[in-house]
A and B are shown apart, each in its own frame.
Chain A
């Protein structure tokens, strides 16, 4: 069930209006109330003083029955502002004197529609007259000297004036309150809107990002918390976009490396040719960051076999592709009648134009004549090739620099081949520097010495056992350190 959505502007408006109503209402009440009290007190005081004055002065005239004098007193009293009537009621409850001469002599009767306000020290009642409005009636006892009660003085003060003033004041307060509340509503509404608008902008911006459009920026001009929130939002948006781009790049790189590895593994021969009178063993272990080794064994015909161990500089798909090219070219260029260094010259000339700047390939290429045991080998910048005979290791590395460093003329001049015979029980080991440069956790290298030692130690065994011994020795040395470079190993032993 979706939550009912009410804009924040309504909440703010409601809150501010409620606050205004309470504040203005309370203020108005107190103002009006205090005004009512002070006005009422004023009337009371005046009424009481006139009544008291009258009661004090009229005593003598009542005793002497001086109607004229009484009338004059009453007339004086009537001159006071707000006095509606003044009368004297005798002890017999008959009206002895009144500003309205027609009432004199009648029996005094308290007006019916009235309520007592005060009983002592002077009696005050509030009369609700239909024509004259509210009248405050003040009674003061007329006492002769010696405490003889002669009668009561009644003075009626108009209260409707007070009521009028209060009503007018009330209307003023009401008008002001309404204006204030109306203004308050507008102000609250605008305040609410001014808060809601940037929040909506933020919400919209967030929704856009949610649809995948990362990097979307929002504009909020407020220089307050909302502006700060918008700035942070924009930073987050940029960060998200960058993170996404990095992730995409990373994935692309990983994918590329996967493809490169697949390409490279496809180049490694699955089955090694069987050579009469010889044992051939191979070992290949790619490093995590593919760097492009490969090896190959190619029957050339007439008991001749070509052996290749190669190492490409660089990594990833470009290196893997260079490998495939090199392999194809060697396959087509190698020939039982061509000396090993000539094949390398051809390889260099054909491959060079296709190699990216700075990319090169080191190659060991050897041709074995299985009938005679003669090895014709050449090296294009590759590491030494070892031959183990009579318990000693010979290093063979005819001159030649890597493929791809020179287009032809200099390469052809420099590269040489070497021929020797592999005798019975003698072992040829071709490899890439991944073996000698294998490192242990303390970054020590396996090195040539250890390598030569293990070859010597295992040379009496089969080629497969020799290869196995080498691999185990390297693994033991490296312990659990990560393999940093491809390892390729080719062992040929004459039986």
Chain B
């Protein structure tokens, strides 16, 4: 299983584009990427998961871990573009009461400026 990462800047919001599988073998790559952004002072993050087919519990753990860190610095971690299967798990675990998720990357980015 593999994962590929891309990044984009939209004003002061950073968008991390993920595709593939986020599981135990690939989760460290995602974690490193987000950590790099955090260390570089980029606290407003949108993680676009439209290319992601599966997120394991370790994957959710990464988003949850950085959620607090980013929020403490005045930023946030928002998700976007989850496919149905992934969104189902997200809601099942009731992460929807913890963090924000949007249908598209644009909506997620815009929400920072509201």
Do the two chains belong together in a single complex? Answer: yes
Q: Which residues does A use to contact B, with CB under 8 Å? A: 289, 291, 311, 313-315, 357-360, 362, 381-384, 397, 399-402, 404-406, 410, 414
Nearest CB on A from B32, distance (A): 13
> Does B64 have its Cβ within 8 Å of any Cβ on chain A?
yes
Cβ contact of B97, chosen from A291, A311, A357, A399, cutoff 8 A: A399
Establish whether residues B57 and A405, one from each chain, have CB atoms under 8 Å apart when the complex forms: no
Chain A's closest residue to B85 (CB) is: A445
Residues of A contacting B31 with CB < 8 Å? Answer: 358
Residues of A contacting B60 with CB < 8 Å? Answer: 313, 360
Assuming the A-B contacts A397-B92, A401-B93, are A359 and B61 also in contact, with contact meaning beta carbons closer than 8 angstroms in the complex? yes
Q: What is the interface of chain B mostly: helix, strand, loop, or mixed?
A: helix
> Does B112 have its Cβ within 8 Å of any Cβ on chain A?
no
Assuming the A-B contacts A313-B57, A313-B60, are A358 and B95 also in contact, with contact meaning beta carbons closer than 8 angstroms in the complex? no
Q: What is the interface of chain A mostly: helix, strand, loop, or mixed?
A: loop
Establish whether residues A314 and B61, one from each chain, have CB atoms under 8 Å apart when the complex forms: yes
The interface size of chain B toward A, counting residues with CB under 8 Å, comes to: 16
Cβ contact of B95, chosen from A314, A397, A405, cutoff 8 A: A405
Cα-based distance from A362 to B57 in the complex (angstroms): 10
Establish whether residues B98 and A399, one from each chain, have CB atoms under 8 Å apart when the complex forms: no
Establish whether residues B98 and A410, one from each chain, have CB atoms under 8 Å apart when the complex forms: yes
Please give me the 3 A-B residue pairs with the lowest Cβ-Cβ distance, nearest first.
Answer: A358-B61, A358-B65, A313-B57
> Does B87 have its Cβ within 8 Å of any Cβ on chain A?
no
Q: Which residues does B use to contact A, with CB under 8 Å? A: 24, 31, 57-58, 60-62, 64-65, 67, 92-95, 97-98
Establish whether residues B97 and A414, one from each chain, have CB atoms under 8 Å apart when the complex forms: yes
Nearest CB on B from A443, distance (A): 10
Assuming the A-B contacts A315-B24, A383-B92, are A401 and B97 also in contact, with contact meaning beta carbons closer than 8 angstroms in the complex? yes
19 A-B residue pairings within 8 Å (CB atoms): A289-B24, A291-B57, A315-B24, A357-B65, A358-B31, A358-B64, A360-B61, A360-B64, A381-B92, A381-B93, A381-B94, A381-B95, A397-B92, A399-B94, A399-B97, A400-B94, A404-B64, A405-B64, A410-B97
Cα-based distance from A232 to B108 in the complex (angstroms): 55
Which of A291, A358, A362, A410 gathers most chain B CB within 10 Å? Answer: A358
Cβ contact of B61, chosen from A311, A313, A383, cutoff 8 A: A313
Assuming the A-B contacts A313-B57, A314-B57, A315-B24, are A414 and B94 also in contact, with contact meaning beta carbons closer than 8 angstroms in the complex? yes
Chain A's closest residue to B95 (CB) is: A401
Chain B's closest residue to A414 (CB) is: B97
Nearest CB on B from A364, distance (A): 12
Nearest CB on B from A3, distance (A): 53
Nearest CB on A from B1, distance (A): 11
